[in-house]
């Protein structure tokens, strides 16, 4: 009986140690890393990488803000061939390794890389509307802001 109890204690100790190691290795991002203007660079759909084609001189971009009046606001501007913008806006938050965009059903993007110049995410979603889930990776680079761009007020 004492041997069984000793084995259970040892097993419990190792399981606690493993949990702590996994917790220490978990990547956590800061909100300040996300803030700013990000320009689409390429998209990988089910393993096939494609450069992002900007249809206008003004490049398609998305913005993260967090300031009074714009608390955790996400905006996206997409331009068509006539350079007319289509815009969308929602609220964002970080959860560990995920970026979450609020909607009727929140969208969870796994952050693949986030540094001063690159922001890469992955999401599994029916991208092409064929009823099958697709793995979509979005690659973006930090974009410069012009003073006339109201979206650049972080």
How does pLDDT run across 89-108, given as a tens digit for each residue? 999 999 999 999 999 999 99
The mean pLDDT of 34-42, rounded to a whole number, is 96
The pLDDT-based confidence of 8 (bands split at 50, 70, 90) is very low
Say what the pLDDT of residue 77 is. Answer: 93
For 127-151, what is the mean pLDDT? Answer: 90
Q: Quote the CA–CA distance of 14 and 29 in Å, as a whole number.
A: 28
Task: Determine the 3-state secondary structure of 149 from DSSP.
Answer: coil
Helix and strand counts by DSSP (H, E) for the chain = 2, 9
Q: Which residues contact 56 (CB under 8 A, 6 or more apart)?
A: 79, 80, 81, 83
Judge contact between 18 and 28, C-beta under 8 A. no
Distance CA 84, CA 55 (A): 10
User: What is the pLDDT, as a whole number, of residue 4?
Assistant: 44
Q: What is the CATH number of domain 31-152?
A: 2.40.128.280
Q: Which of 133, 101, 99 is nearest to 113 (CA)?
A: 99
| pLDDT, average across residues 59-75 | 92
Half-sphere exposure of 148 (CA within 13 A, CB side): 1
Token pair listed for 130: 């064929």
């Amino acid at each position: 009986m004492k041997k069984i109890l000793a084995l259970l204690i040892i097993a419990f100790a190792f399981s606690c140690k493993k949990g702590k190691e996994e917790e220490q290795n978990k990547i956590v991002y800061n909100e300040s890393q996300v803030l700013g203007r990000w320009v689409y660079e390429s998209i990988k759909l089910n393993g096939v990488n494609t450069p992002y084609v900007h249809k206008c001189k003004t490049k398609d971009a998305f913005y993260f803000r967090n300031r009074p009046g714009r608390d955790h606001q996400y905006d996206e501007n997409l331009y068509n061939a006539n350079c007319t913008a289509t815009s969308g806006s929602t609220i964002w938050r970080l959860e560990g390794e995920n970026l979450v965009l609020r909607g009727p059903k929140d969208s969870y993007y796994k952050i693949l890389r986030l540094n001063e110049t690159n922001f890469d995410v992955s999401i599994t979603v029916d991208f092409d509307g064929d009823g099958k889930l697709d793995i979509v990776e979005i690659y973006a680079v930090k974009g410069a802001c012009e003073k006339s761009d109201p979206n650049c007020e972080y």
